[in-house]
């Protein structure tokens, strides 16, 4: 399979790159930190790398160039994401999260969907979060932006079905995974990144529409969705 992972210099994206590579796939990885991309290329000879910021780059031309080098792709995973929980509401942080998790995401997802539609098949996997399910006082933009990602993914699945095209969009909703991103309050069930990446691969291979990672976060999702605001506001 030919795969692009957007946001693979660290954490979940990097681990996914390593696992997909070990399984013999053709890979391209992106991120802003060039030295980490080059380090990964040293570890995984033959992978393609592209250094760009999803907020500011011409994402269409960056991804288009990668696809040309790879002579097509089957799967694109949008793993780039940012959020910084704090008690204070800092506009710069909120806008930064929104620019990466929403604007960068839309540029990538719309390009990928249209590419796969034209090709006649393909899969887009997006990493949202269990945080997408409710508002969060510590990182309002992060939870709102992840809700946007999940909602957008559902919209694209419906669009693919109406267009009768073989394009699948998989919304991965992680709970806490042990990466530098996992710095929120009251963490529990923190999963190793290797285990999370394994479960993400399985969900993608099964062409799931929505998958909670690790799997037991499904239970938290059910509870979160049903919790009355009066109770939720004490923890959210």
Ligand X SMILES: NC(=O)c1ccc[n+]([C@@H]2O[C@H](COP(=O)([O-])OP(=O)(O)OC[C@H]3O[C@@H](n4cnc5c(N)ncnc54)[C@H](OP(=O)(O)O)[C@@H]3O)[C@@H](O)[C@H]2O)c1
Residue 121 C-beta: closest distance to ligand X, Å: 25
| Binding letters toward ligand X, positions 74-93, x by CB under 6 A | -----xxxx-----------
Asked whether position 105 contacts ligand X by CB under 6 A, the answer is no
Q: Where are the alpha helices (DSSP H) in 23-100?
A: 34-43, 59-70, 91-98
End-to-end CA distance of the chain: 40
Single out the residue of 2, 4, 7, 21 in contact with ligand X (rule: CB under 6 A): 7
Output the CA–CA distances (angstroms, integers) from residue 192 to 15, 175, 182, 195, in the order listed.
10, 11, 11, 5
**Per CB under 6 A, which region of 5-13, 85-93, 155-163, 200-208 contacts ligand X?**
5-13
- The length of the chain, given as a count of residues: 236
Of residues 196-235, those binding ligand X (CB under 6 A)? none
In degrees to the nearest 10, what's the CA dihedral of 196, 198, 201, 202? -110
Asked whether position 122 contacts ligand X by CB under 6 A, the answer is no
Residue placing its CB nearer to ligand X in the complex, 100 or 123: 100
Which residues lie below 8 Å from residue 218, measured CB to CB, with a gap of 6+? Answer: 212
Residues that bind ligand X (CB under 6 A): 7-13, 31-33, 36, 53-55, 79-82, 100, 104, 127, 129, 174, 176-177, 179-182
């Amino acid at each position: 399979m030919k795969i692009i992972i957007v946001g693979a210099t660290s954490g979940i994206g990097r681990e996914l790159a390593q696992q997909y590579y070990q399984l013999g796939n053709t890979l391209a990885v992106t991120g802003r930190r060039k030295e980490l991309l080059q380090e990964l290329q040293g570890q995984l000879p033959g992978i393609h790398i592209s250094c760009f910021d999803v907020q500011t780059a011409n994402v269409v031309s960056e991804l288009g160039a990668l696809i040309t080098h790879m002579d097509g792709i089957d799967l694109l995973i949008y793993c780039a994401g940012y959020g910084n929980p704090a008690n204070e509401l800092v506009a710069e942080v909120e806008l930064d999260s929104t620019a990466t998790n929403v604007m960068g995401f839309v540029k990538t997802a719309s390009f990928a969907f249209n590419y796969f539609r034209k090709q006649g098949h393909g899969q887009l996997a997006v990493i949202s979060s269990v945080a997408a399910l409710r508002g969060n006082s510590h990182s309002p933009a992060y939870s709102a932006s992840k809700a946007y990602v999940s909602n957008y993914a559902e919209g694209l699945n419906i669009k693919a079905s109406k267009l009768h095209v073989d394009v699948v969009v998989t919304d991965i909703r992680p709970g806490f995974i042990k990466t530098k991103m996992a710095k929120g309050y009251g963490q529990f069930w923190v999963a190793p990144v290797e285990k999370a990446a394994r479960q993400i691969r399985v969900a993608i291979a099964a062409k799931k529409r929505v998958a909670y990672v690790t799997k037991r976060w499904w239970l938290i999702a059910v509870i979160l969705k049903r919790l009355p605001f009066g109770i939720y506001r004490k923890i959210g």
